[in-house]
Amino acid sequence: MNDPIEGGTGQPLSLLDEFILMLLDEESGYFYQIPAQKMNCVIIGAALAELSLLLRIDTDVESLHVLDPTETGNPSLDLILKEIVDEPVRHNAQYWIEKLLYHAETIIDLTLENLVKLEILEHHQGDFWTVAPDKLYGTTDGDSDNGIIGQFIRTRIGKDIFSDDIPYPRDIIIICLIEACDIFPLIFKLDKKAEERIKLLCRMDLIGRSMADAVEQNINNPLLTSSHLGKKIPRVSLHRLLLNPHTRGGNLPALFADLTKEYGPVFEIALPFSKPNIFLSGPEINRWIRRHGRKYLTSKNLFGDFEKVYGAVGILPALDGADHFRYRKTMTPAYSRGRLEGQLDVVYSKAREYMANWKVGETYPARDLCRKMINAQTSPLMMNIDTQDIMDDIIAYKERALSTHLLNILPKFMLETPGMKRRAKTIGTLMERVQSVHTAAQRAGCPRNFVDDLLSLNANYPMLMPEANLSFALSAVVLASMYLGDGFNFALYAMASQPELYDKIRSEADALFSNGDPTGKDFTPANIEITDRFINECLRVYPVVPMSMRGVVNTFTVEGYEIPRGARVNIAQTAPHYMEDSFPDPFSFDIDRYLPPRNEHRNPGYAPYGLGPHTCLGARWMTLHMAVNLLIIAHYFTLRVYPEDYKLGINSFPSMKPNKKLKFHIAEQKHELPI
């Protein structure tokens, strides 16, 4: 028996670890899209083969029996070993693969967790995975010094199929399982000789062959693979919809939570004169989307008309697969918390400049105050320009374009009104301003900003970030200040209307600002512990982006409902924010939910940043930016909600924000603003 390969920390890699590494598609940052049933079968096949290599079971095509019931220490393997040991009757491998299928997803999760712990895989926001650079580019000569994987599995398997050497038995098993998945042509460029060699190798090892056979038989079992007869999707009664208090209050997550409780996780809403819309909603849906969404859902084609408005093609929210991954990877530094930490001096000076206009005793419209305060910082930080004078027009134009060309809730000509045409021109103004300050000479020696990264992307991948897309990408920065500004508006409302939380945030602020301006490093989890939990709760109760739209490219069955190819679905990912199972007493504002052992933000029902590959790329930037602004206000001022009897009303299209009746009253100034 060959020795298992080491993972670089001295811990051997299991066959499951190596098999999962083989399935990773480095181009797309995700795993080859193997149908769920097939994937589950091969994972169980790999686990059984590993148990066999560890001499816990013996298996061939006819039977599978226990040799040694002792635990292996690998939680994935022990999970299924226990079941086999506890079964009094002897069965064959095919039986066990079918019986153990329901463990497959847990085994995948445990294996990925292990690979991250071993620092072989890195997990990125949006559920992207990459091999850690030192493992990817390290030596592949079998030497396991310096924490490098002894011999990266893909190189080994490549050698096995392109040379005449005799492979390790464990490699043959992996080859058999990959062949059963039918993905060799995706991993290697195969010639006739290599194809024949794979067939030959697959006949060489008994364990591998019996597993691959058993997997094949299960994959080809129509009773297991075909979807069940789908349940009929219930249609929400329009009367019920209109009577729901959250429809009028604009609280979409709470509305979808109610509809989910009444109609189940899949339902249709048919508004007069429009086609019915399918909604997916609830914690189980969130779990399913994260795990399986990429195989069935796309953002492509949804934005076709909307993109055209900006003369763009293939904007970030409309990309999928490898292009999407490359775009996000290249632009991640531009949206990172580290980038913001390095420029907090700009944040402080712009925030103070803005607050210097506030007069104690005055009241200010909340929406404008919050959007402008955030925008006064975001545009200089990301684009090195000021956009205060054109922000409202850029936002109004985009909101109208979303309503006319994406959500289709307004006729298209509504984007052609004289007012909208005037607003469209401000996008040209934005471009001119950015161009005027981004010449090579002017940028020399400046810290890198978002535009520098965008221009590099255009230079290096011109088809991924064509010039035609620049105007949309730059408008998106102004729009990000709108999303963040509206999230900040909810947070200021929550702070101003709960004086005891205001005081707690202020004590963190005073500790940070009393001895001069804090640096990025001072914003540790311990120093802003309350503010962080407060922001978590604001994003739960008031998620600015409550749902996402996707197209269905492959028919799927979820929670017993079949969703056909070609459909459009609305994923109400924040509905669980108001569901008792995910968040007990969901209508109470309770920042202690995020303390251990409750840790309610760790459950799949918490999704203020969206789900899956398009998860908010600015999430880390955004939480620090929001924290700094709440803290700086709490340090200098006391704000109160105005009018005093104001009851929060929400405008929810196209994204959630407090209604325009909300104002903030500047009740007192605690500290002088430095000049």
- Which positions lie near ligand HEM, rule CB under 6 A? 316-317, 328, 335, 480, 483-484, 487, 543-545, 548, 608-610, 614, 616-618, 621-622
Look-up of token digits 């990817």: 136
Of 91 and 568, which CB lies nearer to ligand HEM in the complex structure?
Answer: 568
Give the shortest CB-382-to-ligand HEM separation in angstroms.
7
Nearer of residues 46 and 289 to ligand HEM, judged by Cβ: 289
The nearest distance, CB 268 to ligand HEM, in angstroms, is 20
Q: CB within 8 A of 149, min separation 6: which ones?
A: 5, 6, 7, 8, 13, 120, 135, 138
Mapped onto helix, strand or coil, the DSSP state of residue 128 is strand
Q: What are 72's two structure tokens?
A: 């292996």
Determine the Cα–Cα distance for residues 295 and 180; give it in Å rounded to an integer. 19
Least distance in angstroms from the C-beta of 475 to ligand HEM: 12
Local structure of 315: helix, strand or coil:
coil
Q: Closest CB to ligand HEM among 167 and 293? A: 293
State whether the Cα torsion 124-129-132-133 is positive or negative: negative
Q: Report how far residue 46's alpha carbon sits from residue 32's, in angstroms, rounded to the nearest whole number.
A: 16
Q: Which is nearer to ligand HEM, 75 or 317 (CB)?
A: 317
- Please name the helix (run of DSSP H) or strand (run of DSSP E) that holds residue 551, with its range, or none: strand 548-552
* E strand or H helix at 441: helix 440-443
Enumerate the H helices of 124-189 as residue ranges: 133-136, 153-162, 169-181, 184-187
Nearer to ligand HEM, 99 or 287 (CB): 287
Provide the 3-class DSSP secondary structure of residue 91: strand
Q: What is the dihedral of CA 446, 338, 535, 476, to 10 degrees?
A: 50
Smallest separation, CB 236 to ligand HEM (Å):
22
Taken in order 469, 471, 476, 477, the sign of the CA dihedral is positive
The CB-of-480 to ligand HEM minimum distance in angstroms stands at 4
The least distance separating ligand HEM from the CB of residue 562, rounded to whole angstroms, comes to 23
Closest CB to ligand HEM belongs to which residue?
618
Nearer to ligand HEM, 256 or 609 (CB): 609
> Which lies closer to ligand HEM via its Cβ, residue 213 or residue 453?
453
76 or 531: CB nearest ligand HEM? 531
* Amino acid at the residue 78: D
The residues, any chain, with a CB within 8 Å of residue 2's CB and separated by 6 or more, are 168, 169, 170
CA distance 292 to 613: 11
Q: Nearer Cβ to ligand HEM, position 281 or 548?
A: 548
Q: How far is the CB of 244 from ligand HEM (least distance, A)?
A: 23
The pair of structure tokens assigned to 286 is 């969130």
Smallest separation, CB 11 to ligand HEM (Å): 34
CB of 637 to ligand HEM, least distance (A): 22
Q: What angle do CA 323, 472, 372 make, to 5 degrees?
A: 125
Cβ nearer to ligand HEM, comparing 46 with 340: 340
Distance between CA 49 and CA 171 in Å, rounded? 11
DSSP bridge partners of 129: 123
Which CB atom, from 593 or from 620, has the smaller least distance to ligand HEM? 620
Question: Peptide bond preceding 283: is omega within 30 degrees of 0, i.e. cis?
Answer: no
In this structure, the dihedral spanned by the alpha carbons of residues 4, 75, 611 and 116, taken in order and rounded to 10 degrees, is -40
568-572 and 548-552 beta bridge pairing? antiparallel
Q: Which of 537, 541, 547 is nearest to 655 (CA)?
A: 547
Nearer to ligand HEM, 48 or 478 (CB): 478
Q: From CA 30, how far away is CA 128, in angstroms rounded?
A: 6
For ligand HEM, the closer of residues 335 and 594 by Cβ is 335
> Long-range pairs for 181-184 at CB < 8 Å and ≥24 separation?
181/23, 181/32, 181/34, 181/38, 181/39, 181/42, 183/23, 183/32, 183/34
Query: CA 275 to CA 269: how far, in whole Å?
Result: 9
